[in-house]
Structure formats: C-alpha cells, structure tokens
Amino acid sequence: MKGGQVSLDRRPVLRGIDLTIEPGEVVSVLGANGSGKSTLIRALLGLTPLTGGTTLLYGRPPARFRDWRRIGYVPQRLSVGGGVPTTIREVVASGRIARQRRFRPTSAADREATERALAAVGLADRAGDPVQALSGGQQQRVLIARALAGEPDTYVMDEPTAGVDADSQQLLADTLSALVAQGRTVLLVAHELGPMEPLITRAVVLRDGCVCHDGPPPHAVGAHALPGHDHVHPHAEENPVSTLDWRPTP
C-alpha cells in the first residue's frame, strides 16, 4: 500500500499509509481502539475501497486480483452460520471454495484438508455439531480452521484472540508457529499478543489513522498499544519510520 487513505462517513480513518508486507513476515498491527486497524486490514484486502493512494495484492490491484486461495482471512466479528443450522465441518469446508474448480465435486484433498484443519484447532470430535452451539472462543476457532482449510500462503487475522480463552490462545499460537515454520506470511490485528508474541517479527502501530511505529516488536510496544495508552511508542514523534521497503534489522 502506498499513500493509502480511507474516509468513512467523510471522516478520514486512514491517512497516508505506506506499508509493504514481505513473504514470510509475521506482522502484528497494534493500536488503541478506533485507531484504524480493522480498516487497514480491510483496505489491504480491497474489502474497503481506498479514497486515495494505491494498494496491491501479490502485485495486482484488488479488483483485478483472482488468486484468492493464496489469502486466508479471519474476520473480527463472527458471521458464521447465520440463522440456518450449520455444522462446524460445513463452515470449515467452505474454506476450500476458492480452491475448488467450479461444478466439480468435493475431492479427497478437500476432505483431508478440512479434517486436518478441524484437528489443528481441537474441534475434530465436534465437527458434526451446529456452529451456533459453540462459545465465542470456539466459534473463533472455527473461523481460524476455515482459513487453515484453504491452505493459503498468507493469513490475515483480525483480532483472532479477542474474547478467546487462554487455551484457545495457546492453540492458535502453536498453530501459527507451525505455519510460520513452513514460511507462511501472517498479518494479524491484536490488542494483546499474549502467547503469539514470540512469533511476531514486526510490529506496525497505528495512531489516528497513521503509522506511528513500524519495526521490531519491542515488548513495550504491545503494552503501550493497549486501549487507553495514547503514547504508543516513546520515540514515535521524533522518529517516524517510513514503512515502504522496510526490512527487519538483523
């Protein structure tokens, strides 16, 4: 993204964002409530249109991007199942859709990937249960499993641990750790990193729709980025970091 701007209801929400995510990075977007984290994620994916600047997905503008199977998106708010009773397995299997050839039946590879994803989030034994019967944290696991089932190159997760119990958080950290070891790219929004903290290679901190820190994730950044901490980074004002072509310092 270059010079990315988004206005919602005529109010600027993102202002001049320069951000390039390289393959294999594990990037955490931090910032106080309302700083623009979800909007940034959605704009990067083309789900929220830019009002200024440009963004590319694997080198293409979102409108011309077709390779959606390369990206697994875990949205912030739960919208699985709706009013229709849907099993956990059905929701997870829907993560394969971007991979399936149109009008072809589900393949053995689809079924295997679905079962692997269910096992990875610890829901294999409940796969036939209606998703509506699960707690919030377990429903979040279902959304993560749906992304895993698609076997994407890049995982984009919006607050995957918000309101999630400690066991689910640890399970997600273990799952992400295995994906990172396979060279997958991860971009996640978080208030608190918790057990995921050791995996993060880079922290991008937003304040008021601008990037105020982009660099290694010092322990303090996570703590300062919590809601209520306006002063997200001690040196943010003196030394704003341009994010374009950013590389981690060895």
Q: What is the contact surface with ligand ATP in residues (CB under 6 A)?
A: 8-9, 13, 31, 33-39
Hey, how many other C-beta atoms are within 10 angstroms of the C-beta on 149?
Answer: 27
The kind and range of the H/E element at 144 are: helix 136-149
Nearer to ligand ATP, 34 or 198 (CB): 34
Q: Report, in Å, the least distance between residue 32 CB and ligand ATP.
A: 7
Q: Report, in Å, the least distance between residue 209 CB and ligand ATP.
A: 7
Q: What's the residue count for the chain?
A: 250
Q: Report, in Å, the least distance between residue 196 CB and ligand ATP.
A: 16
Nearer to ligand ATP, 17 or 179 (CB): 17
Inter-residue contact 212 to 205 (CB < 8 Å)? yes
d(Cα 98, Cα 52) in Å, to the nearest integer? 29
SS3 of 19, please? coil
Nearer to ligand ATP, 180 or 205 (CB): 205
- CA dihedral for 186, 190, 196, 198, sign (positive or negative): positive
Q: Report, in Å, the least distance between residue 39 CB and ligand ATP.
A: 3
Nearer to ligand ATP, 31 or 160 (CB): 31
